[in-house]
Amino acid sequence: MTGLAQPRDDVPPAEAEREGAPARDGRGVERLIGRLRRKYGGRVTGELVMPARPGDFADFPGELDPRLAHALRGRGIARLYSHQRQAWEAVGRGRHTVVVTPTASGKTLCYNLPVLQAVLRDRAKALYLFPTKALSQDQVAEILELNQAGDLGVRAYTFDGDTPGDARAAVRTRGDIVVSNPDMLHQGILPHHTKWAQFFEALRYVVIDEMHTYRGVFGSHMANVIRRLRRICRFYGSDPVFIFCSATIANPAELAQQLVGELVAAITESGAPQGKRHLLLWNPPVINPELGIRASARSQTTRLARLALKAGLKTIVFANSRLMVEVLTKYLKDVFDHDPRRPARVAAYRGGYLPGERRATEKRLRAGGVDCVVATSALELGVDIGSLDVCLLNGYPGTIAGTWQRLGRAGRRNRPALGVLVASSDPLDQYLVRNPEFFLGSSPEHARIDPDQLLILMDHVRCAAFELPFREAERFGRESLGEMLSYLEGQGLVHLEGDQWHWMADGYPANTVSLRSVAEGNFVVVDTTGGAKEVIAEVDYSSAAMTIYQGAIYMVQAQPWQVERLDWEGRKAFVTRTRADYYTDAIDYTKLKILDRFEEERIPAAACARGEVHLVRRVAGYKKIRYYTHENVGYGKIDLPDQEMHTSAVWWQADPRRLAEAFPNRWQALDGFLGAAYAMHFVAALLTMSERQDLGRAVGDSNATWFAAMGPDGRGRPQTLSGDAPDLEAGREFVPTVFLYDNYPGGVGLSAPLYDLRREVATRAAELVGACECSHGCPACIGPILVSDEQRGFSPKAAALRVLALFAPAAG
Amino acid sequence: MDLKQRLSLLRRDAPRQHAPPLSDRLGRLGGAAPGRPMPDEETARLLGGECIAGGLILVEQMLPLAARHGAQPLSEVREAPLSLLAGDGPVDSGGLLFLDTETTGLAGGTGTLPFLLGLARIEGEVLRLRQFFLTGFKGEAALLEQALPWYRQARHLVTFNGKCFDLPLLVTRYRLARRAEPFGPLGHIDLLYPTRRAFARNWPDCRLQTAERRLLGFVRSDDLPGHLVPQAWFDFVRLGAADRVPAILLHNRWDLVSLAALAAALARLYARPEHDEADLLAIARAHRRNGDMHQAYRQLRERRQRLDDGGLLELAALHRRNGEWDEAAKIWEQLAQRGSAEALERLAKYQEHVRRDYRAALALTRLLLERQGAKPGHLRRQSRLAGKLGS
């Protein structure tokens, strides 16, 4: 019996055929939506239908080079979309330009047209920067196709870490368009700019695609790399025009202006046609009303994915963590890929897979060989994966912008598409699905950068001094350059002679500066099963402590490996194949110490302040969680070095006397602080329009003698960093503190806007908790409550409200 | 709060990657009394040179070619067959320009400054050395300018690792000064490559000073180690600490003289590879690559007793090229008896195509199949030979 003749238990072949065929004309999507409404109407809390939109077209510009027009027609393009034409006009006037467009709206022509025109007419040069190598390669392939269609003779090359040494000279001297990434520009090109002299002299355009990824620390570094690039260009007598492309964010023009340091024209209306789109907000049903517990998002997402696949619809599932990608992939593979003789229908895609494996999955996706892909935000970027019908979000991605970007993955070529946002029990998720008008009416987030953050700025002043001597009259950023250079002189790095500051040290500063804030190098995961030694994955430094500790279950394409040993210094994790029926989840604690107070406001019952803090994070242990039942089947200890960070924070403290009046004992107060912090954290993320992971949250003592977290029994537990439990009642001082901190080394400027919103944070958090329908607290307001009210003897929800009333007396 | 305080506050407990890599050096510097830069004239006197422009000191010296450098007579450089090292036509010793720089670092890139440029050339019976020393940054334009006549008059540069280090740096400096780089018309003999080719197998490393000891018999005494050179110059520029500057110039002078001596020694070695540690096969292959089959052939044949299996196979290949089949076959047989599969295969081909002794060829092929398993090439030969025998 062949594999094909075997009847499949999930979809009878006849049904698959009957339902699969109409999917191609779009009725499959409509039918699925109808079915979801009929069967699960109560779970759909909000719905949005975006009608199909016709395209808005414009003719080729009159001055378009005929060879280029010919090439476009050869690729089946007879007219432009209106935004492509607007970009042409703006760039033609020599203005820096940012184009904000949805997925698959032909954004690449917005920059390829002016660039190719300049190459053909004037042999001008262009530099394209993409945040990842994979995107660079796609881009070169696309230019080459256009090139071939019109026989243009334009030379486009990638220049990155993979470019062989003997090809580099040719790229430098012969490339019309050089496609690279910020890290390569920073470490490989700018410090060797004399080798690129010809290129810089003729540089007319710099194209920066996926601009929305340049936020936070990475964006702050990028703005400084651009300062250095423009400085080098001035040396060679050129002043290139910058063309940015971005997914939707609240402030594209502002971000582009911060990146380039000059005014930028913004084009935000897409002229591309769009198919009809449905968006459903989906709340899992309540399964334990007493504890406010809902069915997991995971179970709902799996069910929706199964329905979509059975209806013959190509589906993408986004999960918010790499772990969840693996868990969902396993569950779906258990249904659809249990016969190893058939090609797999379900694939996982996430960061950490080896590049070759990712390329292979992308190729299978484009070729339509995969019916369902489960991915992290790694697929948010412009990786071309062809057209999909359904997009499922397992949990809110954390931002409005990220949500729309992921949803944009479905419904490319003018076909109706369905997106479903499945809420998790997280308060942010619950807030959104319960207040659909908030989500559907909200603008996407601001992308914030702080190019003058002192540590980052100093890093680039060093790099720039290496590249060219600074003149005394020069400027670099908003801080005083002279003062910065004097500081570097004190460190023995630069030397003032005449009116010039020269680099005078043995070293190569760019190699000590990483743009991506994790300077510590990747870990590799080495499979040692059966004496082999094969690298199966990479893990970045920041997530190593949480994912590859000794004893962890590490998954690749839903296959489990167990970590036998973690070599922290050597950056290696040795794993072996395992058949474990559980996965592991790390538990971490954070402790903060206040170093300096910048500003402070006292109200009668409390104080709120902003300042510098020192943070220690410890990954203390992990839980073993059984598949499907999700019960806790054990704990393990993790022995890893602490991670330390210096950043800025906003914190709230209650007046000790008022606190003592409000609570019968300190334990209850502590539970109140933990609940209040939980609610304040997500309100703060919403109000500052930042991503939740940009802000960290901690509850502890202001002197950092103890910190608190939710223990396995669901009660607040104070702990010292050495692991002892302090006696709360014994100490004379009891000043519990809620910290919300900027989650980047040095900070990227989040604490100042947060401090300005301090009253609203407390007020809105009190409103949120007060209005929640649960009885004693739930994951949607103050966090998961495991111990029922009776055992505890008091309501943690009421405790949190009491704390918030101290912080925001008006709302109390 | 001033900038320094703000930074130290930010850095106090920041991750280690922010720690300045120079901290230990700075610690040492911190103890030194703050000095003042030394006037150029005083520096010139100290170095026995003259100040030829603001910030630039020229030190000239003549060294008689009759002298020896270690065991190597310098005069040999005039007659040495240097074209064996260059591989691009005849080399006239009068057109050689020995070049070596001392720099502020080894990393390369635009922030690395060659603050000492050493040049040397042969003028009649002497080696004339010219060292351009910068006392700061402002003399660089004059340095770049003053060196031009010597570049113009030269035909070949001679360096040690200059292709990857000194030359790219100097080209960078000309570009930074917005001048055309003058090296285009010059040939370049980088002695690192012939040294490495001949000795990489038998020496622990192929640094210039290793070559001095093992090939020239020259040992430096009281040399300033290369890794201390940048700091010595920084201390001089910043603090006027001139005590180690003469040592920098001496270090550079030794490098230059070693270049001349090493060029002679290597040329002789490539003509007559008598050195015990030299890799005869690698040298013969270099000759072959340069199209000098005869040289390769002669060297291997004359030193047949010293050859290892690789060398013998190479010699056999050269015999075959010359049509000396018996000689070649003798070597292959000798090697085949020692178990060399490659020699066996050569012999099989020889028996099949030259001797047309298909039976012998088949026997050899079967031996090969036994030895190496069912390789497709062997199988094809076996069936072809069986066919030829059958008909």
What CATH code is carried by the domain that includes residue A290? 3.40.50.300
pLDDT higher than 70, residue A81: yes
> Does A483 contact B3 at a Cβ distance shorter than 8 Å?
yes
In the prediction, which pLDDT does A812 show?
40
pLDDT tens digits along B51-73: 999 999 999 999 999 999 999 99
pLDDT tens digits along A290-301: 666 678 899 999
In the prediction, which pLDDT does A714 show?
56
> Does A455 contact B11 at a Cβ distance shorter than 8 Å?
yes
CA distances (Å), A729 to each of A393, A666, A667, A802, in order?
45, 7, 8, 20
Contact list, B27 vs chain A (CB under 8 Å): none
A286: confidence class by pLDDT, cuts 50, 70, 90: confident
> Does A197 contact B175 at a Cβ distance shorter than 8 Å?
yes
Rounded CA gap, B349 and B357, in Å?
10
Task: Name the least confident of A200-214, A559-573, A582-596, B25-39.
Answer: B25-39
pLDDT higher than 70, residue A811: no
pLDDT higher than 50, residue B25: no
Give the pLDDT mean for A534-556. Answer: 82
Give the pLDDT mean for A762-777. Answer: 83
pLDDT higher than 70, residue A20: no
Pair A796, A779: CB distance under 8 Å? no
Task: Name the least confident of A557-561, A718-722, B47-51, B360-364.
Answer: A718-722
B104 touches chain A (CB under 8 A): yes
Nearest-CA distance A514 → chain B (Å)? 10
Nearest-CA distance B351 → chain A (Å)? 43
pLDDT higher than 50, residue A9: no
B164 touches chain A (CB under 8 A): no
| Residue A795 covered by a domain | yes
**ipTM of this complex prediction, to 2 decimal places:** 0.84
A2: confidence class by pLDDT, cuts 50, 70, 90: very low
Give the pLDDT mean for A421-430. Answer: 81
Whether residues A700 and A733 fall in one domain: yes
Q: What share of chain B is helix, strand, coil (3-state, %, to 5)?
A: 55, 15, 30
The per-residue pLDDT of chain B, averaged, comes to 88
Give the pLDDT mean for A3-23. Answer: 34
| Residue A3 covered by a domain | no
A14: confidence class by pLDDT, cuts 50, 70, 90: very low
Task: Name the least confident of A592-606, A702-716, B139-153.
Answer: A702-716
Given A469, A487, A519, which is nearest B7 (Cβ)? A487
| Residue A7 covered by a domain | no
B13: confidence class by pLDDT, cuts 50, 70, 90: very low
pLDDT higher than 50, residue A468: yes
| Residue A8 covered by a domain | no
In the prediction, which pLDDT does A412 show?
59
Whether residues A350 and A393 fall in one domain: yes
Residue ranges of E strands in A295-396: 315-319, 346-349, 372-375, 390-394
Structural domain of A220: 57-267
pLDDT higher than 60, residue A10: no
In the prediction, which pLDDT does B269 show?
93
| Residue where a domain terminates, one of A441, A465, A500 | A441
Nearest-CA distance B364 → chain A (Å)? 38
| Residue where a domain terminates, one of A415, A441, A467 | A441
pLDDT higher than 90, residue A110: yes
User: Dmax of chain B from CA atoms?
Assistant: 100
Pair A588, A620: CB distance under 8 Å? yes
pLDDT tens digits along B221-240: 989 998 999 999 999 999 88
Whether residues A245 and A352 fall in one domain: no
Whether residues A334 and A419 fall in one domain: yes
Whether residues A245 and A327 fall in one domain: no
Q: Which amino acid is at A606?
A: A
Contact list, A458 vs chain B (CB under 8 Å): 7
Give the pLDDT mean for A776-783. Answer: 74
For A399-453, where are the alpha helices, taking DSSP H only? 400-407, 427-434, 436-441
pLDDT higher than 60, residue A788: no
Nearest-CA distance B234 → chain A (Å)? 7
> Residue A215 is encoded by which pair of tokens?
């936020």
Rounded CA gap, A29 and A50, in Å?
14
What percent of chain A is predicted at pLDDT more than 90?
40
Can you list the pairs that A359-368 forms with residues at least 24 positions away whose Cβ atoms lie under 8 Å? A359/A134, A362/A134, A368/A314
| Residue A449 covered by a domain | no
B280-390 belongs to which homologous superfamily? Tetratricopeptide repeat domain (1.25.40.10)
Task: Name the least confident of A219-233, A239-253, A627-641, A660-674.
Answer: A627-641
Nearest-CA distance A272 → chain B (Å)? 46
Rounded CA gap, A669 and A606, in Å?
14
In the prediction, which pLDDT does B20 show?
38
Give the pLDDT mean for A209-233. Answer: 92
pLDDT tens digits along A23-35: 455 688 889 999 9
pLDDT higher than 80, residue A348: yes
Whether residues A285 and A360 fall in one domain: yes
B40-271 belongs to which homologous superfamily? Ribonuclease H-like superfamily/Ribonuclease H (3.30.420.10)
pLDDT higher than 50, residue B17: no
B391: confidence class by pLDDT, cuts 50, 70, 90: low
Return the domain boundaries, chain B.
Answer: 40-271, 280-390
Provide CB contacts within 8 A for A687, sequence distance 6+: A754, A757, A760, A761, A764
SS3 (DSSP) at A427:
helix
B29: confidence class by pLDDT, cuts 50, 70, 90: very low
A-facing residues of B in 289-308 (CB < 8 A) are: none
A479: confidence class by pLDDT, cuts 50, 70, 90: confident
pLDDT tens digits along A696-720: 888 988 777 788 876 555 566 777 7
In the prediction, which pLDDT does B32 show?
41
Q: Which residue of A has its CA nearest to B139?
A: A497
Pair A320, A397: CB distance under 8 Å? yes
In the prediction, which pLDDT does B255 show?
96
pLDDT higher than 50, residue B23: no
Task: Name the least confident of A713-722, B88-97, B133-142.
Answer: A713-722
Whether residues A296 and A255 fall in one domain: no
B10 touches chain A (CB under 8 A): yes
In the prediction, which pLDDT does B35 show?
63
pLDDT higher than 90, residue A3: no
In the prediction, which pLDDT does A691 show?
66
What percent of chain B is predicted at pLDDT more than 70?
92
Pair B250, B61: CB distance under 8 Å? no
pTM of the model: 0.79
| Residue where a domain terminates, one of A267, A300, A324 | A267
Whether residues A534 and A481 fall in one domain: no
Whether residues A236 and A334 fall in one domain: no
In the prediction, which pLDDT does A143 show?
84
| A vs B: CB pairs below 8 A | 124
pLDDT tens digits along A720-729: 756 667 777 7
pLDDT higher than 50, residue A229: yes
B24: confidence class by pLDDT, cuts 50, 70, 90: very low
B33 touches chain A (CB under 8 A): no
Pair B288, B300: CB distance under 8 Å? no
DSSP-assigned letters across all residues of B321-386? HTT-HHHHHHHHHHHHHTT-HHHHHHHHHIIIIII--HHHHHHHHHHHHHHH---HHHHHHHHHHH
Whether residues A79 and A124 fall in one domain: yes
Whether residues A202 and A325 fall in one domain: no
> Does B137 contact A500 at a Cβ distance shorter than 8 Å?
yes
SS3 (DSSP) at A772:
coil
| Residue A4 covered by a domain | no
Whether residues A506 and A567 fall in one domain: no
Total count of domains within chain A: 5
Rounded CA gap, A745 and A490, in Å?
24
> Does A520 contact B14 at a Cβ distance shorter than 8 Å?
no
Higher pLDDT, A3 or A441: A441
Q: Is B76 left (phi over 0), alpha (psi -120 to 50) or beta?
A: alpha
pLDDT higher than 90, residue A427: no
In the prediction, which pLDDT does A17 show?
33
